[in-house]
């Protein structure tokens, strides 16, 4: 399967603080100082559209993204399943997920994070866009996704869509991604702040860290390690030289 190490690191461990890493907060209510007694706290009205827990499909041995239609998440609040589904003959039948579904405690609770780590996924095809609309009320709000410890051989380009422009955090560590250059497809995500790629074969690329930081101009963290100003300066110098040499080779091949 995937690379070695603690299989929960970055999937569950880091995921516990996903709101903090993605720059979000999830207060169900706000606390104000009492006007009469500034030292006393008084709970006031609910915060509008609070952040709910991640939709957690990790450790479910999922092989294809379509299987999200057939299983309930381990935790979190998925979108209400339809009352009926079609069987193999195209006939409607009762949807068993209705019996397992739990209504969120609030109608405006926002689910912006998706855990798919520690499964058997080999790819994330375009149908992911359809599946996500079926399990999340507002998939465009997706800001954090964990795909670590799967069997992905390529960086999922489907995440580069404008549909996911709010993505802050992407975990891709411990997969089977061989080429660091593939990650460039995600470099235009405007709000990306953290990405992980360690534990993939591409980590063995010469100057891997400089290359990855050079690709992603907006990130503040790579592989759970903060990017310093010196890191950024070195990476920019390296990557610009790399691109120049690549262009020279391309021009030479045309002659």
12 or 201: which carries more pLDDT confidence? 201
Joined tokens for residue 107 = 């109608």
Q: Is the model's pLDDT at 30 over the cut of 70?
A: no
Query: What confidence category does residue 246 fall into, taking pLDDT thresholds of 50, 70 and 90?
Result: confident
Q: Taken in order 157, 245, 227, 198, is the CA torsion positive or negative?
A: positive
Query: What confidence category does residue 89 fall into, taking pLDDT thresholds of 50, 70 and 90?
Result: confident
Q: Is the model's pLDDT at 28 over the cut of 90?
A: no
133 or 92: which carries more pLDDT confidence? 133
Over pLDDT 70: what percentage of the chain?
82
Backbone torsions φ then ψ of 104, nearest 5 degrees: -60, 150
Q: Kindly tell me the number of DSSP H helices and DSSP E strands found in the chain.
A: 5, 11
Residues 214, 88: Cα–Cα separation, whole Å: 48
| Burial zone of 68 (CB within 10 Å; 0-12 exposed, 13-18 middle, 19+ buried) | buried
pLDDT tens digits, 190-240: 999 999 999 999 999 999 999 999 999 999 999 999 999 999 999 999 999
Mean pLDDT score, 167-178: 98
Q: Is the model's pLDDT at 112 over the cut of 50?
A: yes
| Burial zone of 54 (CB within 10 Å; 0-12 exposed, 13-18 middle, 19+ buried) | buried
The model's pTM is 0.82
pLDDT tens digits, 139-149: 999 999 999 99
Q: Is the model's pLDDT at 36 over the cut of 80?
A: no
**DSSP category for residue 195:** E
Q: Is the model's pLDDT at 166 over the cut of 90?
A: yes
Q: Where are the alpha helices (DSSP H) in 57-141?
A: 97-100, 128-135
Distances (CA, A) of 168 to 215, 246, 248: 16, 29, 34
188 C-beta neighbours (distance < 10 Å), count: 13
Residues 232, 210: Cα–Cα separation, whole Å: 8
189 or 2: which carries more pLDDT confidence? 189
Strand 113-115 relative to strand 55-56, pairing: parallel
3-class state of residue 108 by DSSP: coil
Query: What confidence category does residue 3 fall into, taking pLDDT thresholds of 50, 70 and 90?
Result: very low
Residues 168, 241: Cα–Cα separation, whole Å: 28
Q: Which of 139, 152, 143 is nearest to 179 (CA)?
A: 152
The residue written with tokens 């030292």 in the block is 39
Q: Is the model's pLDDT at 45 over the cut of 70?
A: no
The pLDDT assigned to 140 comes to: 94
The pLDDT assigned to 7 comes to: 41
Joined tokens for residue 246 = 């690549």
């Amino acid at each position: 399967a995937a690379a070695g190490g603690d299989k929960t690191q970055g999937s569950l461990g880091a995921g516990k603080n996903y709101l903090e890493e993605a720059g979000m907060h999830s207060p169900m209510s706000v606390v104000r100082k009492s006007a009469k007694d500034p030292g006393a706290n008084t709970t006031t009205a609910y915060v509008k559209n609070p952040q709910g827990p991640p939709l957690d499909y990790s450790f479910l041995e999922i092989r294809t993204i379509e299987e999200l239609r057939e299983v309930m998440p381990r935790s979190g609040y998925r979108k209400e399943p339809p009352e009926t589904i079609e069987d193999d003959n195209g006939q409607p039948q009762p949807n068993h997920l209705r019996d397992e579904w739990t209504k969120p405690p609030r109608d405006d609770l926002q689910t912006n994070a998706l855990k798919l780590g520690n499964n058997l996924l080999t790819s994330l095809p375009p149908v992911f866009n359809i599946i996500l609309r079926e399990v999340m009320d507002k998939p465009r709000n997706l800001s954090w996704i964990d795909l670590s410890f799967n069997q992905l051989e390529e960086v999922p380009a489907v995440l580069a869509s404008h549909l996911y422009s709010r993505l802050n955090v992407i975990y891709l560590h411990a997969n089977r991604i061989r080429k660091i250059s593939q990650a460039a497809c995600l470099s235009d995500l405007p709000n990306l702040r953290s990405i992980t790629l360690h534990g993939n074969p591409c980590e063995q690329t010469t100057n891997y860290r400089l290359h990855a930081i050079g690709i992603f101009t907006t990130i503040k963290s790579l592989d759970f390690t903060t990017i310093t100003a010196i890191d950024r300066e070195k990476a920019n110098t390296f990557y610009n030289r790399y691109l120049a040499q690549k262009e020279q080779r391309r021009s030479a091949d045309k002659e």
